[in-house]
Amino acid sequence: MHYDIFNGDADGIISLVQLRLANPKESTLITGVKRDISLLKHVDVAKAHSVTALDISMEKNIEALNELLANNVTVFYADHHRPSSIPTSDNLSAHIDTDANTCTALIVNQYLNQQFPLWAITAAYGDNMLEAAQALSDELNLSTNERDQLKRFGIYINYNGYGSSLEDLHFTPEQLFRELVKYSNPFDIINQPGSVFSQLEQAYHQDMANAEQAKVLAENDVCKVIELPDEPWSRRVSGVLGNELANKTPNKAHAVFTLNLDHTYTVSLRAPLTNKQGAGDICARFATGGGRAAAAGINQLAAENVNAFVTAISDYYR
């Protein structure tokens, strides 16, 4: 049995879209909301022959990965988060690049010798890798309108992945993958009336309109912190709102706090676009926190730690 395991955001979904367009394969899919990254543990080791793991932190999955390798399961692993240490095994094919200007879909695009670069551009835009997306768009001589369409599609797919549970999402990541993999060219689905593109676009604009009234918890010369209520739309926009704020004020760090039912906060942190480092390190100081240099998060930040978190951001980027 083969397992395809992928993050539920644009980067994870589109990474698998590229691989399965290039190499169709029957597989068992394992995914979840964007923050659900400890996914390797769901593999049935006794049944698994091979595994593809995409856009999930090796550091957060190391125990399950070592168990798979010890049981002679072959693993293809592509990711851009910090891996801590990479196991040495003939059963592991690791494609890890932690550069702040790349994402998993771009790593897969290189692995496939650019068989589906339009999809890679879509994922890069969705993961807010704007420079990388523009550079690859330049290589393909895409028009301004084509770039805009791919950018919007990437943002919408990424937006769909945020939520505390699958019930918060408009489409499950598995549903989106199964729909997107039907198309070797993303423009074919973008231009299709009633497609997931148009459905997500309408939902995105509704949710972002709600976010315009977001409360500012803190703001200074180096950072801005926004608070959102405990609502499904809040959880859906938490990541893309952080990206939008970062793009508007690239010299500041931005954090979006979303109130949880237990009165803790889910935190989405974006490093300044002019200084894409430190986000993962800052979030890792707090329980349930982690991520990469440019973007990171905390699943449950206690209310009494809010001031300490804001201070940590301010001190780091000052």
List, for residues 25-80, the tens digit of each pLDDT value: 999 999 999 989 999 999 999 999 999 999 999 999 999 999 999 999 999 999 99
- Same domain? For 173 and 260 the reply is no
The predicted-structure confidence for 109-139, as pLDDT tens digits, reads as follows 999 999 999 999 999 999 999 999 999 999 9
Last residue of a domain, one of 201, 233, 254: 201
Phi, psi dihedral angles at 182 (to 5 degrees)? -75, -15
- Same domain? For 186 and 234 the reply is no
Give the strand pairing for 50-54 and 2-6: parallel
- Same domain? For 126 and 192 the reply is yes
Instruction: Give a yes or no: residue 206 inside a domain.
Output: no
User: Do residues 78 and 108 make contact, with C-beta atoms less than 8 angstroms apart?
Assistant: yes
pLDDT, the chain, mean: 96
- Same domain? For 21 and 43 the reply is yes
Last residue of a domain, one of 201, 233, 262: 201
Split into its structural domains, the chain has a count of 2
Instruction: Give a yes or no: residue 273 inside a domain.
Output: yes
The predicted-structure confidence for 149-187, as pLDDT tens digits, reads as follows 999 999 999 999 998 899 999 999 999 999 999 999 999
Structure-token pair, residue 162: 């945020």
Instruction: Give a yes or no: residue 64 inside a domain.
Output: yes
Rounded to whole angstroms, the Cα distance separating 71 from 73 reads 6
pTM, two decimal places: 0.88
Domain range for residue 262?
213-317
User: Do residues 174 and 13 make contact, with C-beta atoms less than 8 angstroms apart?
Assistant: no
CATH classification of the domain holding 270: 3.10.310.30
Buried b (16+ CB within 10 A) or exposed e, 183-194: beebeebbeeee
- Same domain? For 170 and 197 the reply is yes
